[in-house]
A = this chain, B = another copy of it.
Amino acid sequence: MRKIALLILTVLFCLHEGRASEKEPCASCHKQKTPGIVNAWESSAHAGAQVECLECHGDRYNADHSSAHERKIVTAHVCARCHAKEARNHFAGKHGIGFRAGRACTRNDMKTDKGCTDCHEKGSLIPRHEAECSSFLTQSPEMQRQGCLVCHMVENRCDACHSTHSTDLSIAQNPAICSTCHLGPDHPQYEMWESSKHGILFRQKGRSYSPDCAACHMPDGTHNVSEGITMGLAGQEYSPDVRERERDKMLKTCARCHSKSFAALNLKDGDAIQRQSKALVEEADSIIRELEKEGLLLPSPAARPAHPLYGNTLEIGAQMLYENLSRAEALLFRMKKFYYIISYKGVFHQNPDYAHWYGNAPLKLTLSEIRSEAELLKELKRLRDRVNNLSALGFSGADSESGTDKESLKTALRKLKERLLKGELSKDEYEKQRAEILKGYGF
């Protein structure tokens, strides 16, 4: 009896599946193979609106999959066909320059809508300058995929923040979703917010009481996350009118809860601390450039693996690497990419601990260490110069660069002295032979 019931159910199920596959040829098969994504889609707003697999994944579908999956990865440009306003805003802000921000090479990305001409002149293998990222180029393909592109794909991927097959907005609206990228030593905005008053109150009392990331950076739901930001990457300066325009936008947001004058004072403090911190980085920059000019970096750029873009030269600008550096540069990297950024972003995110203890304190400590390293390298040089002088003065015959002669001379003089000490030579014989040995070496 039970077996018959099961049989009937199976037949009904297959008929249903068959019907489904007329409209939607993928689900019947993928329901077995990848049930999770099919289930997610089925309960999504997309399914409700009859936006089906091929709509996003490409229209060159064949039953034998011969040319299917040419759009395995659904890029932002696909989403843009329906979500035009969100896409336009997304592309206009910093999230829209995900690749170019990191200037990463799309050849390492999984298949995208973008062609080679994003980075290369048509027909050329040489990357255009603006598409180059030395940090990216020095990584293994695995680290490019797992370390760089997970975040820097944001330009092309709406599912960096949104869920992939469901349309559950609560996921993209969870501020924690920002933490995958906005975390850690380079720019811990999520952590700053989390332990700021804003974050504490948000976590306790919710969205209506205190702001999360989107409240300030996506006001009124805009997808241009750079609205209200008054400076570029690493504090790069905007023109005064852009700065003023964007600051006004942010103050409008702050004014939902605070008096404008209070907010303005705090943001102005952030501006000042950005400039003050940058001046410390610039001092470190000039110490390093001076050391390089004097040939004192250890090892020198000439003695290190070549920089992928600039070769055996010092690079401490936008294309600075975190590998193949001297100690002084390794310290500078931390100042520039970690502590400087944190010192002012800590203020803009209302977190005194980040501004001061994670930013300002290590920024100044590390500058001290760079100054100290420079003193050490200069002291070494002074000593080297003095030894060179001594060699030149007293021992002009002994080339200070080739130690071999000196080593054998030293050995000869030592052996002679041993013979003197053993009594094999008289003092006079010793003096005579010593003079001859020295003469033989050009003294």
A71 within 8 A of B: no
Which one, A48-56, A84-92, A236-244, A354-362, is touching chain B?
A354-362
Check if A266 sits within 8 Å of B176, measured CB to CB.
no
Check if B372 sits within 8 Å of A330, measured CB to CB.
yes
Interface of A is mostly: helix
A364 within 8 A of B: yes
A252 within 8 A of B: no
Check if B387 sits within 8 Å of A403, measured CB to CB.
no
What residue of chain B has the Cβ atom nearest to residue A269's Cβ?
B142
Q: How far is the CB of A204 from chain B (nearest CB, A)?
A: 5
Q: 1/0 per residue A124-161: CB within 8 Å of B? A: 00000000000000011011011110110000000000
Please pick, from B333, B367, B393, the residue contacting A410 in the complex, using a CB distance under 8 A: B393
Q: How far is the CA of A179 from the CA of B257 in the complex (A)?
A: 22
A59 within 8 A of B: no
CB neighbours (8 Å) of A334 from chain B are 365
A181 within 8 A of B: yes
Given contacts A180-B200, A380-B380, 13 further A-B contacts (CB under 8 A): A36-B257, A36-B258, A140-B272, A146-B356, A180-B195, A184-B353, A185-B358, A323-B367, A328-B372, A388-B410, A389-B406, A393-B394, A393-B398
Binding site for B on A (CB under 8 A): 33-34, 36, 139-140, 142-143, 145-148, 150-151, 170-171, 174, 176-177, 179-181, 183-186, 190, 195-197, 200-201, 203-205, 256-259, 266, 269-270, 272-273, 276, 298-299, 322-330, 333-334, 346-347, 351-358, 360-361, 364-369, 371-373, 375-376, 379-380, 383-396, 398, 400, 403, 406-407, 409-410, 413-414, 417, 434, 438, 443
Q: Show 14 residue pairs from A and B whose CB-CB distance is below 8 angstroms, ordered by the A residue.
A: A140-B273, A142-B272, A142-B347, A143-B355, A146-B270, A185-B357, A299-B371, A379-B380, A379-B384, A383-B383, A385-B403, A388-B410, A389-B403, A393-B413
